[in-house]
């Protein structure tokens, strides 16, 4: 954009961030006299019905959730030149991803508090029949006082929708995907809880529970590797919080938590030094303090070794990733030595030091 005012209402002040689909500006709303985060769809996508629909869906999903833990949507529209825009609540404290990168592991009380606020927001979304599907620290914004708000409902769907592909586009972020998302199965609220478990693990340890050289290998680890214990990476994590994270990272959705509201309550109790209330969960400890690496089954004598079966939905994941570009080579040659980047920072969050646009 090469002008200073959009839609005869929003004066562009600065660039807050860039994403593949949109750019976000800090803007001044001339009608209501307040600063907003103005998300503008990139010009090359303005004629693409899929991207326009996803852009509108983000505004509609978030606007339907009247909750202090969800970034609020004030306005959306199309300017006279065809530019699609969305005016959102400006959250000045940066993203949770940036906080972790800056400080390393958070203390257990702070991590439990932030996770409880995210769980509260997800509970509201789930009550409305919306599954976020892309819970990650880049999509958790922090206010100046450190309160968490969930952003970016652009790929959220009703609980009956399929999750992995949408016209060959991967939906979700490999490092935070639940096993059922990786397999391309229908998702429910427990899928968001798994992703929040990954976020909580990252807050407590400063790193991800499963990492690999490319998104495909990372997704496979979510399918095959056992859930690591945060206490193995950070011994100061309380046992109750350690057990809660491992439960959230269960491969079976039914073994996680009954719902986000119950999770939020237990996180607050652990934050306050109280035992969790979830049925069959209080006082749970583990007998083996180390994570045992998965082993391959030993074939029976007298017959050929069993071949590992790869779900067809996972094949769809590989194709989707290839279409995105950058990992297509992973299907035909060995992975690169370069580590993956998990979607970068969320552009809604933080004021850039750059001079105003």
Dihedral sign for Cα atoms in the order 111, 214, 42, 45:
negative
Three-class SS of residue 87?
Answer: strand
Give catalytic residue positions. Answer: 134
Q: Is 214 exposed, middle or buried (0-12, 13-18, 19+ CB in 10 A)?
A: buried
Element (H, E) at 75: strand 73-78
Write down the residue that tokens 């069959």 correspond to: 280
Handedness of CA 322, 323, 326, 332 (dihedral sign): positive
* Segment holding 86, helix H or strand E: strand 84-89
The residue to which tokens 């609220």 are assigned:
189
What are the φ and ψ backbone dihedral angles of 127, each rounded to 5 degrees? -60, -30
DSSP SS3 for 5: strand
**From CA 77, how far away is CA 84, in angstroms rounded?**
6
Greatest CA separation for the chain:
79
- Residue 256 structure tokens: 């996680």
């Amino acid at each position: 954009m090469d002008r200073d005012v959009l839609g005869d209402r929003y004066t562009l002040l600065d660039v807050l961030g860039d994403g593949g689909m949109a750019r976000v500006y800090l803007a001044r709303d001339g009608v209501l006299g307040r600063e907003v985060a103005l998300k503008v769809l990139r010009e090359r996508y303005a004629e693409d019905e899929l991207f326009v629909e996803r852009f509108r869906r983000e505004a509609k999903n978030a606007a339907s959730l009247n909750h202090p833990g969800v970034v609020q949507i004030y306005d959306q529209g199309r300017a006279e030149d065809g530019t699609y825009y969305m005016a959102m609540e400006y959250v000045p404290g940066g993203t949770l991803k940036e906080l972790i990168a800056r400080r390393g592991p958070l203390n257990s009380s702070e991590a439990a508090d932030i996770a409880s606020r995210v769980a509260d927001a997800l509970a509201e979304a789930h009550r409305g029949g919306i599954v976020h599907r892309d819970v990650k620290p880049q999509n958790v914004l922090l206010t100046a006082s450190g309160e968490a708000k969930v952003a970016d409902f652009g790929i959220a769907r009703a609980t009956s929708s399929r999750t992995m592909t949408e016209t060959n586009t991967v939906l979700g972020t490999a490092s935070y995907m639940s096993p059922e998302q990786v397999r391309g199965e229908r998702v429910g609220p427990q899928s968001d809880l798994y992703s929040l478990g990954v976020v909580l693990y990252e807050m407590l340890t400063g790193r991800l529970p499963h990492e690999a050289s490319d998104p495909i290998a990372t997704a496979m680890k979510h399918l095959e590797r056992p859930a690591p214990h945060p206490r193995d990476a950070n011994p100061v994590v309380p046992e109750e919080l350690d057990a809660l994270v491992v439960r959230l990272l269960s491969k079976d959705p039914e073994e996680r938590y009954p719902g986000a509201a119950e999770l939020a309550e237990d996180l607050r109790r652990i934050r306050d030094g109280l035992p969790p209330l979830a049925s069959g969960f209080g006082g749970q400890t583990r007998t083996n303090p180390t994570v045992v690496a998965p082993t391959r089954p030993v074939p029976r004598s007298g017959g050929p070794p069993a071949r590992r079966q790869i779900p067809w939905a996972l094949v769809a994941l590989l194709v989707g990733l290839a279409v995105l570009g950058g990992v297509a080579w992973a299907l035909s040659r060995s992975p690169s030595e370069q580590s993956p980047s998990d979607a970068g920072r969320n552009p809604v969050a933080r004021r850039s030091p750059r001079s105003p646009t």
